[in-house]
Amino acid sequence: MESIIDTAKLELTKKDFESDQMVKWCPGCGDHAILKSVENVFPELGIAKEDFVVVSGIGCSSRFPYYMNTYGIHGIHGRAAALATGIKIANPKLSVWMITGDGDSMAIGGNHFIHVARRNPDINILLFNNKIYGLTKGQYSPTTPKGSKTKTSPQGSFEQPFNPGELVMGARGKFFARVVDTNIKMMTQVFSEAAKHKGASIVEILANCVIFNNKIHGLITSRETKVDNQLFLEAGKPMRFGKDNEKGIILNGSHLEVVTIGENGITEDDLLVHNPEREDSGIHIMLANMMPPEFPAALGVIRSVAAPTVEELIWDSIEHEKEVSPYKCVDDLLNSGSTWSVD
């Protein structure tokens, strides 16, 4: 199959992807920074501008396609994964980007979300997780923490939330990464990793809704606390974090634990070394589940395992059938089997 990465220099810039439409997100919304990061990444991928397709469902984040100067389709609530799958299978040459939120993908589109992870088409999924319904003005979502007071949970939510990363891996997804909307450099780097991964690449963006759920990720993103609460994972490197990089993660028996290097005889050699390519998702799930205050939030590429994509398998099968099938055209098929002639 033709590679989506064209090595010839295409000389594209951010400008090539900026649309002329007015961006209507609230001032201070995390989505602005995400848009900027995507505009940074697209020109760098070596993909012709007409080969990008941006697909979305419904919600604040799902207005995204209108703000990019690419091919785009703004779908219906929860169904972006199905739209994107159809586009990618029909034309594997396209670079397909799906924009979704926690309501769109975890609630109404939960079914499509787990199946896109399982099916593994080569698409990139940016999941804006602000843990609230923004466009309908402040109802709890499937990622809203239990006990949160929202318009539809005035006594506090009674429901335990999903953790998107855990869901992806439970659905046997091959790629999961997490970023914060406050770090454009991190988003740019990780989106680029997601683009290069062949398969369904799911990136959870901890996004801030300035109106209905302000600072929901504050412990992880605020200037004062972020160094102690962010662990940026890098393949082959020990898991270190903290103001002076003095803390680390070890595997203690069957669970993870935060340690301080130099204390209790701990050295860097004791720390877990990140291996995103490990097929077994056990450690990856534990990493995805780490949350402050007990743990830092794991950021970066948590899991990236090579596997054939569904469109590769389908198109390989088509090529094979073309060679072996006795039917070269529909006339052959119509005249196959039991037929008779009248003269």
Partner 1 sequence: MTEVKNKIIELKNAVIRFAGDSGDGMQLTGNLFSDSTAFAGNDFATFPDYPAEIRAPQGTVAGVSGFQIHFGSNDIHTSGDLADVLVAMNPASLKANMNWITKDAIIIVDDDAFTEKNITKAGYEDNPLSDGSLNGHLVVNGPIATLTKNAVSELDIDNKSAQKSKNMFALGMIFYMFNRDFTKTFSFFENKFKSKPLVVEANKLVLKAGYHYADTIEAFVNTYKIDPAPLNKGTYRNVTGNLATSWGLLAAAERSGLKLFIGSYPITPATEILQELAKHKQFSAISLQAEDEIAGIVSTLGASFAGALPVTSTSGPGLSLKSEALGLAVMTELPLVVVDVQRGGPSTGLPTKSEQSDLYQALFGRNGEAPLIVLAASSPSDCFYSAFEAVKLSVEHMTPVILLTDGSLANGSEVFKIPKVSDLPKIYPPIVKENDPHFQSYKRDEKKLSRPWAIPGTKGLRHRIGGLEKENITGNVSHSPENHQLMSKLREEKVERVSNFIVNQDIIGNPDADTLVVSWGGTHGVMLTAVEQLLDEGHSIALAHFKHIKPLPKNAGEIFSRYEKILVCEINLGQFVNYLRMRLPQFIYKQYNKIQGLPFTVAELKKEFIALLNE
In the complex, the residues that contact partner 1 under the rule CB under 8 A are 19, 21, 48-51, 53, 55-56, 58, 65-66, 68-76, 79, 81-91, 93-94, 111-112, 115, 314, 317-318, 320-322, 324-325, 327-331, 333-335, 337-343
**Minimum CB distance to partner 1, residue 308 (Å):** 16
108-113-116-119 Cα dihedral, nearest 10 degrees = -110
**Minimum CB distance to partner 1, residue 37 (Å):** 20
Q: Which is nearer to partner 1, 71 or 291 (CB)?
A: 71
Q: Which is nearer to partner 1, 69 or 136 (CB)?
A: 69
Q: Which is nearer to partner 1, 83 or 169 (CB)?
A: 83
Handedness of CA 317, 319, 322, 325 (dihedral sign): negative
Eight-class DSSP state of 216: T
**Minimum CB distance to partner 1, residue 91 (Å):** 4
Integer Cα distance of 175 and 193 in angstroms: 10
Q: For residues 95 and 101, is the Cβ–Cβ distance under 8 A?
A: no
Q: Which is nearer to partner 1, 97 or 232 (CB)?
A: 97
**Minimum CB distance to partner 1, residue 42 (Å):** 12
**Minimum CB distance to partner 1, residue 88 (Å):** 8
Which position has the token pair 């080569």? 122
Cis peptide leading into 27, omega within 30 of 0? no
Q: Which is nearer to partner 1, 306 or 334 (CB)?
A: 334
DSSP string, 251-273: EETTEEEEEETTGGG--GGGSPB
Integer Cα distance of 159 and 15 in angstroms: 44
